[in-house]
Amino acid sequence: MDWPQLPRLLRAVWPCAAKIIGAPLRALRHGKKALILREMSVAALRLSEERFQTAMSIMPIAVFHLDRELRYTWFHNPLLPGLSPDDFIGRTGAEFFEAKGYERRVRLFRRVLETGETGREEMILRSKSDGKARTFDHTVAPLRDKAGRIIGLTCAVIDISDKVYANEALRCAMDRARRADEAKSRFLSAANHDLRQPLQAMRLYLEALDAALEDPEHRAILNGAMAAQNAGEELLRNYLDVSLLDSDITPPALHALPMAPLLNDLAAECVPIAQKKRITVRVAPTSAHVVSDARLLGQMLRCLLLNAIRFTERGGVLMGCRHHQGRLRVEVWDTGPGIPEDKLSVVFEDFYQLANPERDRTKGFGLGLGVVQRAARLLGHDVTVASTPGRGTMFAVTLPLATSMADNDAINGRLPRSA
């Protein structure tokens, strides 16, 4: 062999040799890469399955497959203590649960098999192993083969026993609280007159003493007693009003009411109180009739009027009506200190008093506006408030107009049409 010619020979044959040898090498490299990718995919799937099984194991969820004869073919995370997935394979639920509750479960399974539609039901099953009843939430879907035929069921079952027991305990507690509250309201409603009567008698005795006493020291003691009596009477009245409105024992009696007599009577009641503070109380004339309960509406407006007088030191209080969007607004204006805008939403809360941090009982107890809100809610009326600090406040009650007293009372079933 002519060795000097070897390099030239190799250069000549190398392209052919590279093609012959390169193809197997490339195929080998590609196959190795594909094998690595397959191994990585299998590892990722295995890790995903382990994570799924771990998550399912710590949750009260059982997942299983059934064939058309309702035998278990696969099971994960049994919820019955002392049993493993292998204990279920090839058997039916009738071997694990008492027949009474299991019959309903079978009906659910059969319905899904027949209709092919997913079903969901909550049911109580009693285990044969420990005799304990549990509440399960069942979700059952058809299991199909590649041709779309239903070959069994896929079921997910959640043990919701603790939730059911907690809800039942809460319901019982709420029922007990409701019955206790109703009993309290019935008692206060029945004792309404009896509780007020001693205070009214006390007022008469104090007024008799006021007319008879002349000694300044004795009159000072009497004035303190009368102030305490007034505060106690107001507190009791507010408590009873709140209890009666919350109890719904006495439903409102809706009638057509002329507003002028009601407003004039309320003003006449409150004028003596206003005169002691040297402020005025005025009522704008009106001929309007409204649909409401006379007692509750009068109670609401009296609270608003007394509240306006209580917090007005100069000027006066004006009460009047105006038509607004097909209804009537009864407005109570005062020239008091006003209410900051950020406090308007809380003035109706019980015991809330904006300008009484020292809890002076001569300024009330903070229940009057709560009574107004409750009465308005019971009657279906709207109560609104608007205020300008330093200039005064306006409270308004909006209620339906009555076209005529006879028409309205007939509509509400209170009087015959011919009345």
Its domain, for residue 100, covers 60-159
What is the length of the chain?
419
CA 361 to CA 355: how far, in whole Å? 12
**Looking at residue 236, what is its pLDDT?**
65
Mean pLDDT of the 141-169 span: 90
Q: Is residue 228 part of a domain?
A: yes
- Greatest mean pLDDT among 6-20, 115-129, 195-209 lies in 115-129
Q: Is residue 419 part of a domain?
A: no
* pLDDT exceeds 50 at position 196: yes
Do 31 and 72 reside in the same domain of the chain? no
Mean pLDDT of the 385-402 span: 91
Q: Residues 300, 302, 307, 310: what is their CA dihedral angle, to the nearest 10 degrees?
A: -170
**Assigned token pair, 289:** 């009739």
* pLDDT exceeds 70 at position 21: no
**Assigned token pair, 186:** 């019935």
Q: At what angle are helices 161-190 and 216-247 packed, to 10 degrees?
A: 130
Q: Is residue 89 part of a domain?
A: yes
Q: Is residue 308 part of a domain?
A: yes
Do 65 and 17 reside in the same domain of the chain? no
Last-in-domain residue among 33, 56, 79: 56
Mean pLDDT of the 149-163 span: 90
Whichever domain contains 147, its CATH number is 3.30.450.20
Do 269 and 300 reside in the same domain of the chain? yes
Do 302 and 371 reside in the same domain of the chain? yes
Q: How far is CA 355 from CA 137, 186, 256, 347, 350, in A?
A: 56, 34, 37, 11, 15
Asked if 116 and 109 touch (Cβ cutoff 8 Å), the reply is no
Mean pLDDT of the 307-325 span: 90
Do 270 and 394 reside in the same domain of the chain? yes
Do 103 and 220 reside in the same domain of the chain? no
Specify the DSSP element, H or E, that contains 115.
helix 99-115
* pLDDT exceeds 50 at position 365: no
Do 69 and 151 reside in the same domain of the chain? yes
Q: Is residue 32 part of a domain?
A: yes
The one-letter amino acid code at 24 reads: P
Do 244 and 265 reside in the same domain of the chain? no
**CA 41-47-53 angle, 5° bins:** 135
CA 370 to CA 244: how far, in whole Å? 13
Q: Is 26 exposed, middle or buried (0-12, 13-18, 19+ CB in 10 A)?
A: exposed
**Assigned token pair, 112:** 């899904």
Do 314 and 190 reside in the same domain of the chain? no
Domains of the chain: total: 4
Beta-strand (E) ranges in 160-274? 255-258
CA 332 to CA 318: how far, in whole Å? 6
Which stretch of 88-97, 338-347, 408-417 has the lowest confidence by average pLDDT? 408-417
Q: Is residue 142 part of a domain?
A: yes
Last-in-domain residue among 129, 159, 189: 159
* pLDDT exceeds 80 at position 234: no
What number of helices (H) and strands (E) belong to the chain? 9, 12
Mean pLDDT of the chain: 78
Strands of the 133-144 sheet, one edge to the other: 72-76, 61-67, 150-159, 133-144, 119-126
Residues 6+ apart with CB under 8 A from 320: 263, 283, 284, 286, 330, 331
Question: Would you place residue 358 in the very low, low, confident or very high pLDDT band (cuts 50, 70, 90)?
Answer: very low
Mean pLDDT of the 127-136 span: 86
Pairing of strands 255-258, 280-283: unpaired
Higher-confidence residue: 32 or 67? 67
CA 224 to CA 219: how far, in whole Å? 9
**Looking at residue 361, what is its pLDDT?**
46
Q: Is residue 164 part of a domain?
A: no
Q: Is residue 166 part of a domain?
A: no
pTM above the 0.85 mark?
no
Last-in-domain residue among 250, 275, 290: 250
Do 351 and 259 reside in the same domain of the chain? yes
Do 148 and 197 reside in the same domain of the chain? no
CA 312 to CA 363: how far, in whole Å? 11
Q: Which of 253, 297, 251, 256 is nearest to 409 (CA)?
A: 256
Q: Is 266 exposed, middle or buried (0-12, 13-18, 19+ CB in 10 A)?
A: buried
Whichever domain contains 287, its CATH number is 3.30.565.10
Do 267 and 366 reside in the same domain of the chain? yes
User: To which residue do tokens 């204990």 refer?
Assistant: 87
* pLDDT exceeds 90 at position 258: yes
